[in-house]
Structure formats: C-alpha cells, structure tokens
Amino acid sequence: MSEVSDEDHGCCEDEAGKREGRCRFVSSGELVASGNITERALNDPEARLVDRAAVLNSILQRQALRREARLPPLNIRTEYDRAVEQALWRAHFEEHGETVRAQVLAELRVKHGPQFGQSVGGLWAVRLLTDRRLREMFELTADRR
C-alpha cells in the first residue's frame, strides 16, 4: 500500500484537531507484523477481488469517528477479516445463488409436486435449504484457501 493522506481517514489529528504528522501505512507486511491483518487475508486469491484499500480506509474512518466520540478503539484485524469474509460471501452468493436455488426448487418439486414453492411455507423451505447449501459450499471453498 502507498502512503495514505490525512484527509483520507482523519486519524492523524490529536484531540485538539492539530496534525500529528503523516500516517504511514506503507506495506501490507507492516500491517501483518503489527498484528492488524492476518497473512491469510492478504494472500488469499479470492480476497484480492475485494478492494482491500477501501476496506481498510473504511475501518480507519470508523476508528477516527470512535476516537472523536471517545469510544474504545476497534480491533482493526478483526474488522478487516470480517469485512473481507462478508465481501467473499456476497460474491459467492451472486455467483451461485440462483443456480443453487433452482436446484433446490427442482428437487423439492420432484418430491412434493409441481406446485411446491408457491406457498409461504414452501418459499421458506426453499430459502432455508438454499442458504444451507450455499453456506456448505462456501465453507468448502474457505477450507481450500
């Protein structure tokens, strides 16, 4: 990562609003060494689909707001890992969601008849089984990472 300007995230000001100097987030290696981000999250090929700079910038902005409100600081490592995991889940759902839903609906219609899935209970069953299968698929891909 290159240096981030103070205006990007506002974490370089003290309580009086004076600049304390320029922030240095120069490399992902430094972030890992500081314990703020896991090596796995940085080297995961699927995580590269996530705009890590935007994720980190968002976390730093939230951190600055918390500091202004005198709230306890965020654990940047945990927040980063959670944000990457959420982005990966969204991508997985967008890629496989409709296909898995169609498969589940087809299987249930074979078992219960062609009208299955038109009632509220049928819709819930389809959604529940689709979500379960998508999560199982997601966990299998996570294990391979």
b/e string for 93-123 if b means 16 or more Cβ within 10 A? beebeeebbeebbeebeeeeeeebbeeeebe
pLDDT in tens, 83-127: 988 888 888 899 999 999 999 999 999 999 999 988 999 999 999
CA gap 98, 69 in Å, rounded: 43
Q: Among residues of the chain, what percentage have pLDDT more than 90?
A: 44
The residue ranges of every structural domain in the chain are 6-144
pLDDT in tens, 1-30: 333 444 444 444 444 444 444 343 334 444
Whether the pLDDT of residue 44 is over 80: the answer is: no
Of residues 143 and 114, more confidence is placed in: 114
- pLDDT category at 43 given cuts 50, 70, 90 is low
* Distance set, CA 77 to CA 48, 56, 102, 108 (Å): 17, 10, 37, 42
Q: Read off the tokens for 143.
A: 């294990």
Helices vs. strands in the chain: H and E counts, helices first = 6, 0
